[in-house]
Amino acid sequence: MPMSEPEFAYLRTAYAVWELTLKCNLKCIHCGSRAGPKRPRELSTAEAMDLVHQLAEVGIKEVSFIGGEAFLRPDWLDIAREVKAKGMRLTMTTGGFGMTDKMAEAMAEVGFAGVSVSVDGLAAEHDLLRGRKKSWEWCFKAIESIRKAGMKTASNTQINRVNAAQLPQIFQMLHEAQVYSWQLQFTVPMGNAADRPDLLMQPHELLDVFPVIHYLWHRGAEHKPYVYPANNIGYFGPYERRFRTLGAAEADEMGFWNGSTAGVLTLGIEADGTIKADPSLPTDDYAGGNIRDKSLREIVFEAEELTFNDEFSAAETWGFCGGCEFAEVCRGGDTWTSHVFFDRRGNNPYCHHRALHHAARDVREETRLVERASGDPFDNGVFDIRVVPREQWRDDPKGFRFADVQWPEAWLAEDPELPQRLWSERERSIEVWRQTRLGWPGAAE
């Protein structure tokens, strides 16, 4: 049975991510919502204000505006003022294209607690991924405007084959721009990214990128930005506790992934009033209803599409995850990632433990698109996955390799052995898995 409202209201009312409009001034080739034109029948101002009141009534503590591009909706600041008037914390994620000092000052006056600007690489790569020239320049103009207006500045990056090698350079740029925190997640096959499987990291490439992310986590704890790996990064590899410890120099021993919180701690709102368990999840499978038809309270506490995690257990995992020793706790990792790869939750190919498990056996996993996406917002392709023995491995010219990582010259000057040390860390992790984890009862084959 789903969690009852009186007992668990405090869990269901943490964080709402609200797509104010699907209209966007960028053309990102990895955009999960295929943003561009506004949605048909987006909420009117009156309907949006009523939704703000309903969010407060069910106990939502924080509302984060997204798009498309949220500030392209003419009444966005009016909606923001109402959110603040109802006592909820207010944040926003933006592409930054077109944001001005005046706009940032208005946001600060309304009371935005922080703004995250999406940065997806160095200038050429960012502009390629964002589909518009000078979008990189606008990002850093926006960061400066937000900082000058007195708001906390953050950034977020999708990691894929175009930009994975640039992560240290991106960190340094954000550090110089005085960004406070940086969220990382892997690009997955949703929306426009589903049409570009060549963008996606192959599961075995995680072995090369995780030591880099771990180093950046440590560097951020000391120098900022703090590095926050998002829900589809990690899972029971050697860095798991640090990745779940936000902004701290020492790892929290209790900090580890313990299952998806979609519909439990998060709520997604589409611009036409559709309510989902999480803003990134496919609409067709995870929309619990529309506020034009039902109250928010009814949808949040009664719709199966929002309450599925109440009873989702290891018994529903499958594939590698179905036989994993961590299945009872992990429950198949991030729902969004597993679903958009396989059109079914419960088997996550982007798992550090899984990649190490296969590397220790001298094999690797490869994904392949077998069914194209429909072309709708928040749609997904369907992939298969196979285990490939070493003798069948083939170099992919578009693939990511540790040797491709671009280190800031100043970092190498202070620590010339940095790349070799991290490579040794990668190899040591595989050897530890080989010596200590193979043959354990319940270990996935």
> What is the model's pLDDT at position 441?
39
Q: Each residue of 172-211: b (16+ CB within 10 Å) or e?
A: bbbbebebbbbbbbbbbbbbbbbbbeebbbbbbbbbbbbb
Using alpha carbons only, what angle is made at residue 41 by residues 39 and 42, rounded to the nearest 5 degrees?
Answer: 65
> What is the model's pLDDT at position 266?
87
Collect all residues with Cβ–Cβ distance below 8 Å to 306 and sequence separation of at least 6: 263, 267, 275, 276, 277, 286, 288, 299, 300
pLDDT tens per residue across span 283-297: 999 999 999 999 999
Pairing between β-strand 274-276 and β-strand 287-290 as defined by DSSP bridges? antiparallel
Q: What is the mean pLDDT of the chain?
A: 92
> What is the model's pLDDT at position 250?
55
The domains of the chain are located at: 11-435
**Is CATH 3.20.20.70 the classification given to domain 11-435?**
yes
Task: Name the strand (E) or helix (H) holding 89.
Answer: strand 89-94
Rounded to whole angstroms, the Cα distance separating 410 from 412 reads 5
Output the six-digit token pair for 97: 């294209």
Percent pLDDT > 70 in the chain is 93
Rounded to whole angstroms, the Cα distance separating 119 from 156 reads 6
> What is the model's pLDDT at position 245?
77
> What is the model's pLDDT at position 308?
84
Q: Are 172 and 224 in contact (CB under 8 A)?
A: no
Pairing between β-strand 152-159 and β-strand 226-229 as defined by DSSP bridges? unpaired
Q: Which residues in the chain land under pLDDT 50? A: 1-12, 440-445
Q: Are 240 and 217 in contact (CB under 8 A)?
A: no
Q: What does each C-alpha distance from 216 to 20, 221, 249 come to in angstroms?
A: 33, 8, 12
> What is the model's pLDDT at position 166?
98
Instruction: Please say whether the dihedral angle defined by the alpha carbons of residues 187, 190, 196 and 201, taken in this order, is positive or negative.
Output: positive
> What is the model's pLDDT at position 439?
57
Rounded to whole angstroms, the Cα distance separating 144 from 178 reads 9
The pTM of this model reads 0.93
> What is the model's pLDDT at position 6?
39
Rounded to whole angstroms, the Cα distance separating 287 from 302 reads 12
Q: Are 26 and 135 in contact (CB under 8 A)?
A: yes
> What is the model's pLDDT at position 71?
98
Q: What does each C-alpha distance from 262 to 73, 197, 231, 305, 417 come to in angstroms?
A: 27, 25, 10, 10, 41
> What is the model's pLDDT at position 2?
43
Q: What strands, in cross-sheet order, belong to the sheet with 181-186?
A: 226-229, 181-186, 152-159, 114-118, 89-94, 62-66, 15-19, 266-269, 274-276, 287-290
Find the radius of gyration of the CA atoms of the chain: 21
CA proximity to 291, closest of 26, 92, 58, 15 = 58
Rounded to whole angstroms, the Cα distance separating 17 from 222 reads 30
Q: Each residue of 310-341: b (16+ CB within 10 Å) or e?
A: bebebebbbbbbeebbbbeebbbbbbbbbbbb
